[in-house]
A and B are shown apart, each in its own frame.
Chain A
């Protein structure tokens, strides 16, 4: 392929990837429900932001994503470090399998677990079950990203630290961890967005007070096209976009 042809092709693929979301964003500012452009209006944003259920779901989603991210990132980073120099066959295997388990199967198995657990412990489904479920599927992503970063690092730094009398814990804290920072940030970001986006698993393990944004959006989408959904979607896309840009900046400052 000549460079220009390749460039054209790339432009086409970028258009394919981005136009649908752009169109969605543009029409969220349309005053009409229909796909004909009528006039600029913020009415759908007003509708969306004025909907208490939607706002609460957004809040729930953010809280769940925050907890799931912190938990899965810390557990996953430690695990990746543990797996770096020496493999743990069964753990690596289980994590790989959980990575490829179809979402619906994960969802069903977690629901079955919570049911049995709660028959014994008398606990209810709710935010805590959603957080646990999210930690379970975010963990492998974190391990994957952090491990990839670790593999690009040189073991000799730690060895040098050890030679200079550092304990393994000190070597981890003062040598490896700082070098891992970009990898950890990337992993946390992946965990956060995955958690924020999940519908299949969340909808099965959610109980009272734990409706998330994707659940509400799916419910609305099932009831027909609704410009308020365009408005929320636009906010999500741009919100996440800004988040990514910020995290990139942070990483580059390093």
Chain B
């Protein structure tokens, strides 16, 4: 089938692949779905799903789909990227009459500030960003990560938004600030922290925390929980100053020619059993179950930053990396 697709593509006929079963192309992050979610959907609806988990960061979703000819149908952008993607006309409006299972969503996630009335996206899984460290370590706050004691044993995420979020929280500011003064102060703090840092690492840090090479790592809760499952001496800290919250949403691309099937897939994801299984497998929280209010209370949702702020942040980030 692949080979035939390839020949068709070469002769310039891509897009009209003759396939016995309809198919759906879904791109998501790694470790972000239960093992049987996709096979069950394929069986029940008699379709093929191309499920790809190659992207690591949310920005990659935009980068991959910005051309408008990526070939994907269903994507999982982070909440702060829903608006930019919609502004760039990348997303298709959702037809709620076909998404009957959305009544499973808890009230809080039915009208989020990033996408009122869920016109373009539906919350898929949400989580927060905190610190993964051994239970024995006396780490309770972001502030603890500026500590001589852990020199060379700390990592931060290689994501500008998360590093700024941590620094801004230490300073008591909002993670979404547009104020250049606050951003610069946060940057100064980040540069100051570099001498204690081993590296800026994303999920690849998990092994290193498990093996004890790294004593404390800024990490997303889902990834952290997956590590803790295999290394129970570790635990996840919700930093006392507050932390960032993010929600990965599921959306349908405007370029998709399979809007019906894509809606079926979305609707399927919100069946109670499926949603619960995905949440269990990824260790992130489902927007369908009772929300953990205490986690939400001290967290702050990421928002889309304006063009100039985005540019300032990028510049400050480049300066941090250069320092």
Contacts and interface: CB of A to CB of B under 8 A. Distances in A.
Contacts, number: 88
A234 B72 CA distance: 33
Interface in B14-60: 14-15, 25, 30, 50, 52-54, 56
Contacts of B67: 111, 114-115, 118-119, 125
A204 to B, nearest CB: 8
B203 interface: yes
B69 A123 contact: yes
Interface residues of A, number: 32
A115 B10 CA distance: 17
A128 B207 contact: no
Given A122-B15, A128-B10, A222 B203 contact: yes
A216 B68 CA distance: 24
Interface residues of B, number: 31
B71 interface: yes
Contacts of A67: 10
Contacts of B12: 123
Contact of A209 (B2, B205, B207): B2
B206 interface: yes
Q: Is the interface of A mostly helix, strand, loop or mixed?
A: helix
B70 A124 contact: yes
A121 to B, nearest CB: 8
Contact of A211 (B3, B5, B30, B54): B54
A142 interface: no
A198 interface: no
Interface stretch (A55-63, A82-90, A161-169, A182-190): A55-63
A53 B53 CA distance: 9
Interface of B: 2-3, 5-6, 9-10, 12, 14-15, 25, 30, 50, 52-54, 56, 66-72, 202-208, 211
Given A128-B14, A209-B50, A222-B203, 10 more contacts: A60-B2, A118-B68, A119-B68, A122-B15, A122-B69, A125-B70, A126-B71, A127-B10, A223-B206, A224-B208
